[in-house]
Amino acid sequence: MIIKKMSLPRRMVLRGLGAAVSLPLLDAMVPALSAFSRTAANSARRFGVVYVPNGMAMEHWTPTAEGSAFSLTPILQPLASFQDQMTVVSGLRGYWTPAHAGASTTFLTGAAGVAGETAPVADTSMDQILAREWSQDTELTSLQLAIDSRANAGQCSGGHSCVYTNTICWRSRTTPLPMENNPRVVFEQMFGDSGSTDPEVRRARMLRDRSILDSVTEKVTDLRREVGHADSLKIDEYLEGVRDIERRIRRVEQQQNYDVPEVAQPEGIPATFAEHVRLMFDLQVLAHQVDLTRVSTFMLGREVSSRTYTEIGVPDAHHPLSHHEYKADKIALMAKINAYHTSLFAEYLTKLRATPDGEGSLLDNMLLLFGCGMSDSNAHSPLDLPVLLVGGCGGQLEGGRHLRYENDPLMPNLLVTLMDKLGVPVERLGKSDGRLTLGGLTGV
């Protein structure tokens, strides 16, 4: 891998136990990591999302048989060794009208955005509800990661702001969260950027930050009073951001001894797609492993992505290809991209399974939601979405099944049901209008 060849600017030791490890966590190091285990006896539940753009080659995704005796389709084949821990969910309907922008926006919010050049609106996304609920226990509320940069012009969809296609995470109805694509920045979000290996330096840094934040809070509060409610949205966001960091500082002060392997900071965005994806997955493994956060979301591509995949023999741009006009050769290429994505996802799952967490592994405690908010990309269809659940969710989720729902229940109904499983029941999510039955394990 190229990243091995990169010069590593500095090494961070955060209260290291054991061996030095450099990112990405190569397969060879997984045994080294097994030496760690979190001290907490009871394991927490975790939530992870992996979003893939531009719909799915459905004929190569959906298993024919339902129930437990289903055989894997070409796109699901890379996940073979996880079959007993996964549930393929068919028949769900996305709540959206505008293509692409709606697909990404509703995936976790269950609500569609609005067209035109107005302030973006959707609804709080599922991951953020969990993040808020669990934030008392972890330093970071959540991680939002992506592969694509946001720096592009005019390549969005349906007259919607590009924000709808660039993110799936919404902190509130009106605050979309940016998804970070630079591994170095993610690393700094996780471990700080004090540039020092000394915990004392980091603590001193936090004290300085706190004094700045206190002072800023005062000023923002004044400003807020001055301008009145109608105009205060942006400044409220700022205040909320400040409070989030303050919360994190308090958290670090309270709990000073978590164990982190010695990790070298990644330098920037790797040269190839696969390396980039692996590194982002590794960062997520690490974040869960040291319990920095329990919620992570990841977009393998922004919605309407036009990436080409020459490395697997697909020189066509993804989005134009997804309008395949139902031609078998084009659908086959599309399926190739889809299977490439699941194969990278499988590598992530392998690492999660190999990383101990509490009584079991990270995979045992985690609930992973993989899929897309659009099924047939040629028709921009919101019906029969490609959705996959993996992981044990702390014993709450039984795997090895293909569930098909009749009468097109809404995707957010699944999200509400999953919230039950994750122990954070909610009345509704976006436009949800009920709950689903997940095989033997009905929503609580």
Partner 1 sequence: MANTGTNVRLSIGLGLVLALGAVDRVAAQRVDRSASGASVSTREMLDRFCVRCHNERTRTAGLTLDTMDLAQVYGDAERWEKVVTKLRAQTMPPGGSPRPDEATYQIVASWLETEIDAVALTNPEPGRGETFHRLNRAEYHAVIRDLLAVDVDVAELLPADNTYEHGFDNNGDLLSISPDLVSRYLSAARRISRLAVGIAPVGPTVATYRVHPALLQDDRQHEGLSFGSRGGVAVNHYFPVDGEYTIKIRLHRNFSDYILGFSAPQELDVRVDGELITRFSVGDADALGQMAPLSFSGNIAGGPDWEYYMNTGDAALEVRFPMKAGRRLVGVSFVRRHAELEGALQPRNRGYGRFVDERYDDHASVEQVAIGGPYAVSGPGDTASRRAIFVCQPPVLAGGGDDEVASCARRILGRLARRAYRRPVTDDEIETLMDFFETGYESGFDDGVQFALERLLVDPDFLFRVERDPPGVAPDTPFQLSDLELASRLSFFLWSSLPDEELLALAERGQLSAPEVFEQQTRRLLADPKAHALVDNFVSQWLRLRNLDSQQRESAEYPEFDENLREAFRRETELFVASTIREDRSLLELLSANYTFVNERLARHYGIPGVYGDRFRRVVIDNDHPRGGLLGHGGLLMVTSHPNRTSPVLRGKWLLETLLGAPPPEPPPNIPGLPDRGEGGEPASVRDRLERHRANPVCASCHAPMDPLGFALENFDAIGGWRAHSEAGLPIDSSGTMPSGVQFEGPAGLRNVLLGRGHEFAGAVSEKLLAYAVGRGLEYYDRPTVRQILRDAAADDYRWSSIVLGIVKSAPFQWRRSPSAVTTQVVSATPQQ
In whole angstroms, the minimum distance from the beta carbon of 98 to partner 1 comes to 8
Cα within 13 Å of Cα(84), Cβ side: 3
Residues 257-296 binding partner 1 (CB under 8 A) are: 267-268
Member of 1, 6, 13, 332 binding partner 1 (CB under 8 A): 6
Helix (H, G, I), strand (E, B) or coil at 144: strand
Member of 32, 242, 252, 332 binding partner 1 (CB under 8 A): 242
Closer Cβ to partner 1, 77 or 217, answer by number:
217
Q: Per CB under 8 A, does 240 bind partner 1?
A: yes
Closer Cβ to partner 1, 162 or 367, answer by number:
162
Residues 303-362 binding partner 1 (CB under 8 A) are: 306-308, 310, 315-317, 320, 323, 325-327
Sole window of 236-244, 331-339, 388-396, 423-431 interacting with partner 1 (rule: CB under 8 A): 236-244
Member of 84, 231, 253, 433 binding partner 1 (CB under 8 A): 231
In whole angstroms, the minimum distance from the beta carbon of 57 to partner 1 comes to 16
Closer Cβ to partner 1, 163 or 334, answer by number:
163
Sole window of 79-87, 144-152, 386-394, 414-422 interacting with partner 1 (rule: CB under 8 A): 144-152
| Pair type for strands 86-90 and 401-404 | parallel
Q: Of 395, 380, 396, which is closest to residue 54 (Cα–Cα)?
A: 380
Binding mask 84-103 for partner 1 (x = CB under 8 A): --------------xx----
Q: Per CB under 8 A, does 144 bind partner 1?
A: yes
- Length of the chain, in residues: 444
Q: Which helix (H) or strand (E) holds 356?
A: strand 356-357
Q: Per CB under 8 A, does 137 bind partner 1?
A: no
Residues 153-172 binding partner 1 (CB under 8 A) are: 153-163, 166, 171
Strand partners, 314: 309
Member of 77, 196, 343, 350 binding partner 1 (CB under 8 A): 196
One-letter amino acid at 368 equals L
Q: Which helix (H) or strand (E) holds 245?
A: helix 233-254
Closer Cβ to partner 1, 315 or 440, answer by number:
315
In whole angstroms, the minimum distance from the beta carbon of 288 to partner 1 comes to 18
Member of 25, 112, 145, 177 binding partner 1 (CB under 8 A): 177
Q: Of 282, 334, 328, which is closest to residue 313 (Cα–Cα)?
A: 334
Closer Cβ to partner 1, 177 or 362, answer by number:
177
| Distance of alpha carbon 417 from alpha carbon 444, whole angstroms | 8
Strand partners, 441: 438
Sole window of 226-234, 250-258, 345-353, 358-366 interacting with partner 1 (rule: CB under 8 A): 226-234
Q: Annotate 321-343 with b (16+ C-beta within 10 A) or e (fewer).
A: bbebeeeeebbebbbbbbbbbbe
Distances (CA, A) of 287 to 141, 271, 280, 337: 11, 23, 11, 27
In whole angstroms, the minimum distance from the beta carbon of 379 to partner 1 comes to 4
Closer Cβ to partner 1, 65 or 119, answer by number:
119
Contacts of 169 (CB under 8 A, 6+ apart): 108, 125, 127, 128, 142, 144, 176, 177, 179, 297
CA dihedral 186, 190, 192, 193 (to 10 degrees): -20
